[in-house]
Structure 1
Amino acid sequence: MNPAVLSLVVILAVSVNLSVSKDAAQETVSKHGQLSVKGANLLNKNGEIVQLKGMALYWSQWKPQYWNAETIQGIHDSCHSNVVRASMAVEYGGYLTDPEGQMKLVETVVEAAIANDLYIIVDWHEEKADTHQAEAVDFFDKISKKYGSYPNIMYETFNEPTTQAWSSTLKPYHEAVIKAIRANDPDNVIIVGTGQWSQRVDEAAEDPISDQINIMYTLHYYAGTHKQWLRDLAQGAIDKGLPIFITEYGTDNVDEVNWVDPEESALWWTWADSNNLSYTNWAICDVNEASAALIADTPTDKVCQADYLTESGKLVVAQNQK
C-alpha cells in the first residue's frame, strides 16, 4: 500500500476510535471490578479512572412496584447504565415504620444488580439521619454483613442533610456509620451526604473525613435551579482533592412545574464529564414530575424503552450512552 494512503487509513482509524461513544451499559462490574478512591478520582480494579452513569430508584415506599429484578434489568439494558441507586425511604412510611418490608425491597434490588452486573448504591434516603443514627448504624451493619463481599455494593450514609453543621453533626454521624460498615466491609466505596441538600461540598473539603479509605462526598443538583454558582463551588472542592459522586441529579427546574432544562443539563454533564464524576439520575418513576424518567403507568418490563420515556428520560438515556 502506498505510504501516503496507509497514513491516511491510520489517521481515519484513530479518528473513528476517538469518536466512539462510551456506553455505560458496557462498563460494568465484570469489566471494572473492585472500585477504590484515590485523590479526587474513582478508580477501577486496575487503578484506572472509571465513571459510573445510571439511574436512581424513586422513594421505596411510594413506588415499590419498580423495586424488582425486571426494573433493574431494564436500567442496565434500556437505560444504558452501569449503576443504580436504591433510594430507601426512612420516614413517611419507610424503614422506621416497616423495616422488614423495606429491607426486603433493598435486598431484592441489590441481588438483581449483582445478577445484572451493575454497581448499586444503597442509600439511607432522608434529611434527618443524624436523629436516627442508631437505626442507620444497624441497617448498614446488616447490609454490609450480607453484601460487603461483593464489589457491586456502595453505601450512601445520608441522602440530603439540610441545615446541620458539617464538622459538629454530619461528620461524626458519618464516622459512626462508616465504623459499622468497615467492621464487615473494609474496601467498598462509602458516599457521605453534605450540607444544604448535599450541595456544600466546600465545607467537607475544608474538614474531610480522615483515617479512612474509599470515601466520597455527595453532590446533588437540579439543572434548571442549580447553575454555574454550584459548579464553581464544587470545582473548588475538587481542586482541593475532594472526591465527589453526584448520587442525585435532575434535568428539571424544581422552582417551576414540569419544566425540563436541556441547555443547563448539557452544561452540567459537560462539567461532570470533564472532572470524571459519576452520576445517577432522579428518577425511575412514572409520577407527574418533570424529573421522572417514565411516562404514566409504565410497566416494569418496559422500563426505559423508548416509547415509555419522558422528555427527561430521553435526555438521560442518551447521555448514558456517551
Structure 2
Amino acid sequence: MRFSLLFFVLLVASVWVSRALAKDAALEPVSKHGQLAVDGVNLVNQNGEKVQLKGMGLFWSIWMPYYYNKTTVDGIKEYCHSNIVRTMTAVDTISGGYLTDPDYENALVDAVIEAAIEDDMYVLLDWQDFEAENHLEASLEFFDRISKKYGSYPNIIYETYNEPITLEWSSLVKPYHEAVIKTIRANDPDNVIILGTPNYSTRLDLAVADPILDQTNIMYSLHFYAGTQKEANRQVAKDAIDAGLPVFVTEYGTVNADASPPVDEEEAELWYTFMDEYGLSYVNFAISDKDEGAAALIPGTAPENVCREDYLTESGRLVVKHNKA
C-alpha cells in the first residue's frame, strides 16, 4: 500500500511538472525554438514541443516612442529576462496614430522588429485599436506591409485586434479577423496569428461558441488585470482551453484594469500559477515610465536603463521574477 501511494504521488507530480513550462525566458530564444506553430491548444516549437513565451509589452507608440529602439529591446531581453517583446501600434487617438501618420508608426514598429530579430527574440505586433472593424482598410494595409517585409522570419507573431469593445463576435469581430488573416496568409503562410476577443479580450467563451475554422496557427487573445479580473476570468479561460481553444495572454497587468495601483500580488500569483500550469504564454503591460501602477519602470527611466533592477517598480519586480522563474 505504501509503495502504491508513493507511486501515485510521483505520477501526479510528474504530470504536473510536464504541464508546467515556466523557466527563464531569456534562455529560450528563437534560435532554440525556431518556427512556432499551434498544435491543439498548445503553442509548439519547430520540433513540435510545447513552448512558453514570456516578456514585456511596450506602451502605446504614439505616447512613448522613445522606447521603440534596440536599446530598449536589449534591456527587455537581458534584464527583464524575456524572449518576446510586444509593440503597440496606436491607430486612432487624440494625439494621432497610424491613421494620421502611417509612415511614422511604421518606422517605430520596424525598429523594434529589427531589434528583436537581432536579439534572437520573438516580436508580437499589436494593432492597438478598440474599434478595428471601423478601420479595416488601414489594418489590412498595415498587416500586408508587415507580412511582406518580415513574414519570412520565424520571430514574427501577429495580433490583429488588441481589445474589441463590442460583444458582437460572430457578426463584427470574427469577419474582421478573417479578412486580416487572409491578407497575412497571402504573404506569410506560417507565423502565428493571435485574435482579440470581445469585451477587451476577456470573452473567450464567445470564440468557443463560434471559432474560426479552416485555419492553421491561430490563437485567441486573453487579457487580464489581476486587481480586477480574478477567479471568474480564470474559469472562463480554463473552460475555453478545455473546449479546445488555443489561448495566448497578449496583455496582462498586476494592478487594476485602469492601470492604477495597488499591485495585487495575491491574485497575480494565482494567475501566474494558472498560466504556468497550462503553459500559456504571457506578455506584461508595460515598458512604461508613466506614474501609474501598471508601469514596469520608475518615472524618468531612459532606454539604457530599461529593466535594470534599480529602475523597476513594484510591478516590474514581480513581473521579472516570473519571467526568469
TM-score, structure 2 as length reference: 0.92
Listed as ranges, the matches of 1:139-158 within 5 Å are: 139-158=142-161
Q: Does 1:239 align with 2:218?
A: no
Hey, what does 2:5 align to over in structure 1?
A: none
For 2:108, what is the secondary structure of its paired residue? Answer: helix
Q: Does 1:308 align with 2:311?
A: yes
Among 135, 138, 141, the residue aligned to 2:141: 138
- Which amino acid letter does the alignment assign opposite residue 226 of structure 1? Q
- Which amino acid letter does the alignment assign opposite residue 89 of structure 2? M
Q: Does 1:214 align with 2:223?
A: no
Among 282, 285, 301, the residue aligned to 2:288: 285
**What's the CA shift for 1:164?**
3.9
**What's the CA shift for 1:252?**
0.2
Moved more, 91-100 or 250-259: 250-259
For 1:111, what is the secondary structure of its paired residue? Answer: helix
Hey, what does 1:191 align to over in structure 2?
A: 194
User: Percent of aligned pairs with the same residue?
Assistant: 59
Unaligned runs of 5+ in 2: 1-16
Question: How many residues are treated as equivalent by the alignment?
Answer: 307
Q: Does 1:119 align with 2:135?
A: no
Hey, what does 1:22 align to over in structure 2?
A: 23
Q: Does 1:34 align with 2:35?
A: yes
Q: Measure, in 2, the Cα distance between the counterparts of 1:236 and 1:121.
A: 25
Q: Measure, in 1, the Cα distance between the counterparts of 2:216 and 2:56.
A: 25
Q: Which runs of 4+ in 1 moved over 6 A?
A: none
Listed as ranges, the matches of 1:266-285 within 5 Å are: 266-285=269-288
Q: Measure, in 2, the Cα distance between the counterparts of 1:244 and 1:277.
A: 7
For 1:88, what is the secondary structure of its paired residue? Answer: strand
**What's the CA shift for 1:255?**
5.8
For 2:43, what is the secondary structure of its paired residue? Answer: strand
- Which amino acid letter does the alignment assign opposite residue 304 of structure 1? C
Unaligned runs of 5+ in 1: 1-16
For 2:165, what is the secondary structure of its paired residue? Answer: coil
For 1:87, what is the secondary structure of its paired residue? Answer: strand
Q: Measure, in 2, the Cα distance between the counterparts of 1:21 and 1:162.
A: 31
Hey, what does 1:44 align to over in structure 2?
A: 45
Q: Does 1:296 align with 2:299?
A: yes
**Structure 2 contact 254–315 (Cα < 8 Å) conserved:** yes
Q: Measure, in 2, the Cα distance between the counterparts of 1:107 and 1:190.
A: 18
Hey, what does 2:111 align to over in structure 1?
A: 108
For 1:179, what is the secondary structure of its paired residue? Answer: helix
- Which amino acid letter does the alignment assign opposite residue 91 of structure 1? D
- Which amino acid letter does the alignment assign opposite residue 119 of structure 2? N
Change in CA separation of 1:21 and 1:270 when aligned onto 2, cut-off 3 Å:
closer
- Which amino acid letter does the alignment assign opposite residue 37 of structure 1? V
- Which amino acid letter does the alignment assign opposite residue 144 of structure 1? S
Q: Measure, in 2, the Cα distance between the counterparts of 1:279 and 1:23.
A: 13
For 2:31, what is the secondary structure of its paired residue? Answer: helix
**What's the CA shift for 1:21?**
7.4
Pairwise CA RMSD: 1.7
Hey, what does 1:83 align to over in structure 2?
A: 84
Q: Measure, in 1, the Cα distance between the counterparts of 2:256 and 2:167.
A: 25
**Structure 2 contact 248–282 (Cα < 8 Å) conserved:** yes
**What's the CA shift for 1:319?**
0.5
**What's the CA shift for 1:257?**
3.7
Hey, what does 1:320 align to over in structure 2?
A: 323
Q: Measure, in 2, the Cα distance between the counterparts of 1:203 and 1:219.
A: 12
Q: Measure, in 2, the Cα distance between the counterparts of 1:31 and 1:51.
A: 12
**What's the CA shift for 1:205?**
1.0
Q: Measure, in 2, the Cα distance between the counterparts of 1:64 and 1:21.
A: 31
**What's the CA shift for 1:258?**
2.1
TM-score, structure 1 as length reference: 0.93
Hey, what does 1:12 align to over in structure 2?
A: none
